[in-house]
């Protein structure tokens, strides 16, 4: 059975952020992820992880101005210096938190920037980031995100992510496969997982419609979990969904250990 990590950006919002580590551990999670650690001192988060015996599974590189609607800057030609600075900041947090991998958000293609220029910028930035992370023994991930939730997001198909990996040519660059985003953009989940499994280092889940917990929508998660066992997937699956009610009350979908 896959290993499930609590996404503390979406789950346990009944608690202040730092208190969510304890709530996740009490609910039986062994790993956690969240969007960004940068609003808190790394030492404070590291203490919370250690106190609860949790593994830090994933966080993202800095995304630009998230509160202003930016969703990554890796495809922005005029933000390369800022992106590179963010890689250094992300690595510093990953080192402090024992986090083995960082996700790079492609971002929304800027107005007036053609797709070819955006692609060239993204590839160059990924080469820079992959080299910097490899020097620290870390994996770099890229995540296709659906364009219904984030119109204009530059990376939105699994095949596109695989093509980017080939173009970058870094052996520590992998796909973050989000089941929710993939279902909305392309479906064909089981076959896509099987085809790209060697390039998938991390997964996330939510049901659709609604982006709530498994069992609230159209995706057959019990089948997919068995399928992943058959394929031999040994990575984490981040629970990145919005609970319909309180978090603990919605955890009945979790398979028995």
Q: Is the link from the previous residue into 209 a cis peptide, with omega within 30 of 0?
A: yes
Ramachandran sector of residue 59 (left: φ over 0; alpha: ψ -120 to 50; beta: rest) = beta
* Coil vs helix vs strand at 175: strand
136 catalytic residue (yes or no): no
Measure the N-to-C terminal CA separation of the chain; round to a whole number of Å.
Answer: 8
**240 among known catalytic residues:** yes
Q: Looking at 136, 143, 163, 188, which residue is catalytic?
A: 143
DSSP letter at 246 equals -
Nearest to 242 by CA among 58, 86, 9: 9
Closest CA to 203 of 239, 177, 223: 177
| Angstrom distance (rounded) from CA 143 to CA 105 | 7
Residue recorded with tokens 């064909």? 188
Beta strands in the chain (DSSP E): 3-7, 31-33, 55-60, 101-104, 139-142, 173-178, 200-205, 236-239
CA distance 35 to 240: 10
Q: Give catalytic residues, as residue numbers.
A: 143, 240
């Amino acid at each position: 059975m896959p290993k499930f990590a609590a996404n503390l950006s979406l789950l346990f919002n009944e608690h202040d952020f730092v208190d969510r580590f304890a709530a996740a551990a009490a609910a039986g999670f062994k790993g956690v992820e969240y969007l960004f650690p940068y609003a808190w001192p790394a030492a404070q988060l590291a203490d919370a992880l250690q106190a609860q015996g949790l593994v830090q599974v994933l966080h993202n590189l800095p995304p630009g101005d998230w509160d202003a609607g930016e969703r990554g800057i890796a495809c922005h030609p005029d933000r390369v210096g800022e992106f590179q600075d963010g890689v250094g900041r992300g690595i510093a947090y990953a080192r402090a938190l024992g986090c083995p991998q960082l996700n790079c958000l492609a971002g929304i293609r800027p107005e007036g920037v053609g797709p070819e220029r955006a692609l060239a910028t993204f590839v160059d930035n990924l080469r820079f980031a992959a080299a910097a992370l490899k020097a620290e023994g870390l994996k770099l991930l890229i995540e296709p995100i659906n364009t219904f939730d984030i119109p204009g997001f530059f990376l939105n198909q699994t095949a596109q992510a695989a093509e980017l990996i080939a173009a970058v040519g870094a052996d520590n660059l992998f796909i973050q496969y989000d089941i929710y985003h993939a279902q909305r953009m392309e479906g064909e989940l089981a076959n896509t997982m099987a085809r790209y499994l060697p390039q998938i280092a991390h997964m996330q889940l939510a049901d659709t419609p609604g982006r709530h917990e498994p069992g609230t929508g159209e995706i057959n998660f019990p089948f997919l979990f068995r399928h992943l066992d058959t394929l031999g997937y040994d990575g984490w699956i981040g629970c990145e969904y919005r609970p319909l009610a309180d978090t603990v009350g919605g955890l009945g979908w979790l398979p028995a250990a």
